């Protein structure tokens, strides 16, 4: 039981990370499959949807944010979005490499990309956004 409590943040992050990844992948898939949207534009829209979902779940259930005033929440949301923007650049580079450069399946490269981005997002959230006060 102590082991679960010790790694509770990581376990919850994995659960919500999987859900965030699903939001990202489903949005991406729907956009490129049913609308024919450009891969990078679909990627950015999927990113926006998943960042909104991730912020709410991470601040509430994973990192138990103590930000309560509009100013604190605004700063926290800005830092969270900035950190996620950094990993969006990594995300876009990976998708570009696999899809545009190697001419391979966008969905496979999106899966590969999500593994790397989830790890980076946890580190940035823990160190920069929801750090212990």
Write down the domain spans for the chain.
Answer: 2-129
Residue 23: per-residue pLDDT? 95
Looking up tokens 């949301």, which residue turns up? 77
Q: Distance between CA atoms of 55 and 128, rounded to whole angstroms?
A: 14
pLDDT of res. 132: 63
User: Can you give the pLDDT at residue 59?
Assistant: 92
41 near 78, Cβ under 8 Å? no
Cα 113 from Cα 90, distance rounded (Å): 8
pLDDT tens for the chain, 133 residues: list them: 677 777 888 889 889 988 998 998 899 999 999 998 999 899 889 989 999 999 999 999 988 899 999 999 999 999 999 999 999 899 889 999 999 999 999 989 988 988 898 889 889 988 889 876 5
DSSP H stretches of helix in the chain: 2-6, 8-30, 39-57, 70-95, 106-124
Q: Residue 10 has what pLDDT?
A: 85
CA dihedral angle for residue 53, residue 54, residue 55, residue 59, rounded to 10 degrees: 120
């Amino acid at each position: 039981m102590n082991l679960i409590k010790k790694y509770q943040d990581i376990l919850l992050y994995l659960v919500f990370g999987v859900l965030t990844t699903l939001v990202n992948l489903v949005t991406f898939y729907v956009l490129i499959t049913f609308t024919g949207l450009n891969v990078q534009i679909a990627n950015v829209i999927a990113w926006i949807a998943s960042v909104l979902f991730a912020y709410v779940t991470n601040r509430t259930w994973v990192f138990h944010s103590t930000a309560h005033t509009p100013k604190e929440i605004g700063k926290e949301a800005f830092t969270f979005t900035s950190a996620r923007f950094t990993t969006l650049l990594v995300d876009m580079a990976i998708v570009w490499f696999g899809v545009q450069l190697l001419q391979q399946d966008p969905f496979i490269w999106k899966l590969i990309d999500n593994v790397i981005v989830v790890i980076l997002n946890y580190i940035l959230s823990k160190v920069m956004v929801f750090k212990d006060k």
